[in-house]
């Protein structure tokens, strides 16, 4: 049974970079899924940040794309994907979730985010 | 960019009542829509994709419908464990898979 878990710093400084990693257990990050980041805040509810495939294809929320980088790491010792968000402000304070979506061949050949991590609260503050 | 509008923002129901939640897309999204349930302190749970396909393990009282720009999530007989915020998500138009702002269901 596939499980996801977020890790990284719970605190980021304004104008700095927020970095999170999602460890995949019980399955391989090299499988044909979209590996996704979503955040939750009281102001916006759920916000889709973006997704990355094992092949390195990325799709980002247009409102965040200039600040977001996602990647997948598969080695003998790691089976994970990551998120970097640059130039953060207090508006980036949220609970960050990693999640998995089953995918097909086209962008809308998609079956929803069926597995989620427990979430990582991140605060942006000096 | 496709904007998803959910209504009402909150819904107060009695146990056993039928709850109908709405989600409207700013453009035609065919049936490229999913519904999620989010309870306090938990991670979101996928309920439905393809506008009406229920995920394995989701109770039969949850049903989804609609196509194009108008969609509904119906809870046929509200249970106490259904208290949550429900979100719709479109995945029709590259590059973004936008969520609505959610509907809070309370007793």
- Residues of chain B with Cβ-Cβ distance to A119 below 8 Å are 43
Confidence of residue A31 (pLDDT cuts 50, 70, 90): confident
What integer pLDDT is reported at residue A105 of this predicted model? 83
Distance of CA A34 to the CA centre of its chain: 10
B94 has pLDDT over 90: no
> Chain B residues contacting A, CB < 8 Å?
1, 30, 32, 34, 36, 38, 43-46, 48-50, 55, 85, 87, 89, 91-102
Confidence of residue A17 (pLDDT cuts 50, 70, 90): very high
A30 has pLDDT over 90: no
* Residue among B37, B3, B39, B43 nearest B23 (CA): B3
Say yes or no: A31 contacts chain B, CB-CB below 8 A: no
Nearest to A113 among B1, B46, B94 (CB): B46
| DSSP letters for A86-111 | -S--GGG-EEEEEEEEEE-SSTT-EE
A41 has pLDDT over 90: yes
Better-scored residue on pLDDT, A77 or B25 = B25
Nearest Cα residue in chain B from A121: B41
Dump pLDDT digits (tens) for A88-125: 999 999 999 999 999 888 888 899 999 999 999 999 99
Residue bearing tokens 């039969």: B60
Distance (Å, rounded) from C-alpha B21 to C-alpha A30? 37
Nearest to A60 among B43, B95, B98 (CB): B95
B101 has pLDDT over 90: yes
Confidence of residue A76 (pLDDT cuts 50, 70, 90): confident
Nearest Cα residue in chain B from A111: B49
B80 has pLDDT over 90: yes
Average pLDDT of the segment spanning A7-22? 97
Dump pLDDT digits (tens) for B33-46: 999 999 999 999 99
Average pLDDT of the segment spanning B59-69? 98
Distance of CA A29 to the CA centre of its chain: 13
Distance (Å, rounded) from C-alpha A59 to C-alpha A36? 9
Calculate the average pLDDT of chain A.
Answer: 95
Calculate the average pLDDT of chain B.
Answer: 97
């Amino acid at each position: 049974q596939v499980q996801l878990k977020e890790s990284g710093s719970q605190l980021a400084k304004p104008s700095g970079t927020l970095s999170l990693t999602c460890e995949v257990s019980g399955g391989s990050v090299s499988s044909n899924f979209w590996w996704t980041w979503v955040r939750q805040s009281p102001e916006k509810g759920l916000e889709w940040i973006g997704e990355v495939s094992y092949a390195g294809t990325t799709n980002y929320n247009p409102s965040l794309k200039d600040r977001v980088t996602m990647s997948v790491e598969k080695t003998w010792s790691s089976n994970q994907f990551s998120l970097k968000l640059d130039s953060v402000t207090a508006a980036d304070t949220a609970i960050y979730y990693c999640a998995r979506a089953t995918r097909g061949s086209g962008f809308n050949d998609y079956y929803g985010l069926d597995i989620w991590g427990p979430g990582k609260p991140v605060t942006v503050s000096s | 960019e496709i904007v998803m509008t959910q209504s009402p923002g909150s819904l107060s129901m009695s146990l056993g009542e039928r709850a109908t939640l709405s989600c409207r897309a700013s453009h035609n999204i065919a049936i490229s829509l999913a519904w999620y349930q989010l309870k306090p302190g938990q991670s979101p749970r996928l309920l439905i994709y393809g506008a009406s396909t229920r995920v394995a393990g989701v109770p039969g009282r949850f049903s989804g419908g609609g196509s194009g720009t108008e969609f509904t999530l119906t809870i046929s007989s509200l249970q106490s464990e259904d208290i949550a915020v429900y979100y719709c998500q479109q995945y029709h138009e590259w590059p973004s898979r936008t969520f609505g702002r959610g509907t809070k269901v309370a007793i």
